[in-house]
Structure 1
Amino acid sequence: MKRRALLALGLGGFTAAVGRRYWPQAPASNYLANTAAGNDALINFMAAGDVGTGERAQHAVAQAMIQHQRVTPSPLVLLTGDNIYENGEIEKVGRVFEQPYAELLRQNTKFYAVLGNHDVRTNHGEDQLNYPGYNMAGRYYTFTQQAVQFFALDTTQALDSDDKSPWRTQLAWFETALRRSQAPWKIVFAHHPVYSSGQHGSQQPLIDDLSPLFAEHGVQLYINGHDHNYERTEPIDGTTYITSGNGAKLRSVGRSDWTAAASSQLGFTAFSVYADRIEVNAIDTNNAAYDTVSIAMTGAQGAFAPGARSLSLA
């Protein structure tokens, strides 16, 4: 499957000097105003990726997350990798993590991180694994909150290493954990995209290895970073794939046949989990929701490719 050739664009100052691309062209809503009455979700959480710059753009997104937290309390945040630029140096953690998210940390919001390709450049990421603020129980791990079981994967083992044996071991662990899970909602997060129209694009090894497991065990949602944009797919064999890599840097994003929405603007993604659905809101630095969708518990939302276990890049 061909994807649009993309031009990587840098971030200049507080906002990006890049035209916003968003499909479909729907008006943004004031998310804070619309949710001021709160909600009765089982749990709310946020996701942000590729955040670790310590620069003004990261602080702008962090402030939007803080505003969101005041209206919709969210006890946890998923960090989808590249937590510390450029090389995962743990001595920068105060500037790129503790300072931008200081108010959230004071409120005992727990951050759960995964390793990105920049994070493993120093000491193979071990320093971040040992940092208590990232709450990583290992290179891959799982935890449960309310009706949701979260699975954190280290996709650098699949894509950024010549030795694939650790990835095979991780996949065996992941399949066992999925098989044992009793949670009605299963959410996986990792750094690299499975399906993406961004600069790095879809990753065939992850399509081959992960999407069949998602389909077999009913994983409803996969969240990643790596591409510095937002993108949401149509459900593919029951799984919605969301790229949330726009937490501090931006690049342009194209569109694929399975793209439901895509945007090149700074922001984070907010999730509210109910018994029968997950409400997803992509939120910018003005606290406007520029993409909103409800993911149903049942298979009623359908699959993009009926009768196929996964899509191929071929």
Structure 2
Amino acid sequence: MNLKRRQFLLLTSLGAITTGLGWILTRQNTQSADLTEADTAIAANPLKKDLLLRFVSVADTGTGAKGQYAVARAMTLYHQKNPYDLVVLAGDNIYNNGEIEKIGEVFERPYQDLLKQGVKFQACLGNHDIRTANGDLEVKYPGFNMKGRYYTFSRGNVQFFALDTNGNADWKNQLAWLEKELSLSKASWKVVFGHHPIYASGAYGSNPDFIKTFSPLFQKYGVQLYINGHEHHYERTRSINGTTYLICGAGAGNRPVGKNEWTEYSTSNLSFAAYEVYADRIELSGIGTDNRVFDKGIIKLKSA
């Protein structure tokens, strides 16, 4: 495809979103799915009749640097074509030390287009966030919509559980709270998010203590999805005892990533994740700063 042809497609896509044209871009190699060129383009999809909820997740964002802005632009374009009003923000919201005075440059300006359109960010605390006042100022910041260091909220039949996974967390009370809330939940879909990984193939790797702590709880109470950051890459696991583990920590910077036997897809590319929730499944997409879908996965309501 010559330069003039690419420019024409780009201008047509930006100027005529209502026509439903997506960017037809060069196919990206994947590890887990043979995505066609049409699959990788972000199509214009209005809210579908059977769609219960659409949301996105991103983590390790708060640098205020060009990488964060690149991911934010991709999130905004996706919103234009696939409306959503919820972002799960999985920690390290303010680098390097959780200084709340930086909130304008690392949150409000990068995401201003989404915030102006009423998109709600639900945050949890990362290890960088607790370096100032133990993260208390972030917990109180209205834009992060935190009801505490750990909390729950619902969107229809989807219930979210936000955790403080830091080493100084109130683990005794938090774990008792989590089990109680999970046991009381009537939601069809249960999504837990925290900053630190449980299963990961990056610089830090999997956390054996977290596997022992959380995996039995997730299996017992039917948690279908755990979302986290800390590792600066994207990684989706297969269903492990009914739970898919999704890392979306390449929201501003990235690091190399490998893969394990339970890895369905991994990449170090700057990116975010998008989710479409239906009655019987969640359709999950990994989306890069080139506005292409590089990974697609299905989370079933109940799986082995």
Both proteins in one fold, TM over 0.5: yes
Partners of 1:193 and 1:81 lie apart in 2 by 11
Structure 1: runs of 5 or more not aligned: 1-19, 303-314
How far 1:289 sits from its partner (Å)? 0.6
Cα offsets for 1:171-190 (capped at 9, x unmatched): 00000000000000000010
Cα offsets for 1:268-302 (capped at 9, x unmatched): 00000011110000000111011101111132xx3
1:205 partnered with 2:213 = no
Q: What is the aligned partner in structure 2 of residue 259 from structure 1?
A: 263
Partners of 1:125 and 1:39 lie apart in 2 by 36
Cα offsets for 1:5-44 (capped at 9, x unmatched): xxxxxxxxxxxxxxx9952374475668553133421110
Partners of 1:179 and 1:25 lie apart in 2 by 35
Does the Cα contact within 8 Å between 2:42 and 2:81 map onto a contact in 1? no
Does the Cα contact within 8 Å between 2:42 and 2:291 map onto a contact in 1? no
1:244 partnered with 2:248 = yes
Cα offsets for 1:49-74 (capped at 9, x unmatched): 00000001100000000000011111
The one of the two structures with greater contact order (alpha-carbon pairs below 8 A, sep at least 6) is: 1
Q: What is the aligned partner in structure 2 of residue 272 from structure 1?
A: 276
Q: TM-score, normalised by structure 2?
A: 0.87
Q: What is the aligned partner in structure 2 of residue 183 from structure 1?
A: 187
Q: What is the aligned partner in structure 1 of residue 15 from structure 2?
A: none
Structure 2: runs of 5 or more not aligned: 1-27
In structure 1, which of residues 45, 48, 51 is the aligned counterpart of residue 58 of structure 2? Answer: 48
Change (3 A) 1:86 1:21: farther
Q: What is the aligned partner in structure 1 of residue 104 from structure 2?
A: 94
Cα offsets for 1:223-247 (capped at 9, x unmatched): 0000000001110000000000010
Does the Cα contact within 8 Å between 1:29 and 1:288 map onto a contact in 2? no
Does the Cα contact within 8 Å between 1:198 and 1:252 map onto a contact in 2? yes
Partners of 1:126 and 1:249 lie apart in 2 by 25
Q: CA RMSD in A?
A: 1.6
Segments of 4+ moved more than 2 angstroms: 20-35
Alignment identity in percent? Answer: 50
How far 1:134 sits from its partner (Å)? 0.2
- The count of residues paired between Structure 1 and Structure 2 equals 275
Change (3 A) 1:282 1:28: farther
Aligned letter for 1:184? S
Partners of 1:264 and 1:28 lie apart in 2 by 21
Aligned letter for 1:237? N
Q: TM-score, normalised by structure 1?
A: 0.84
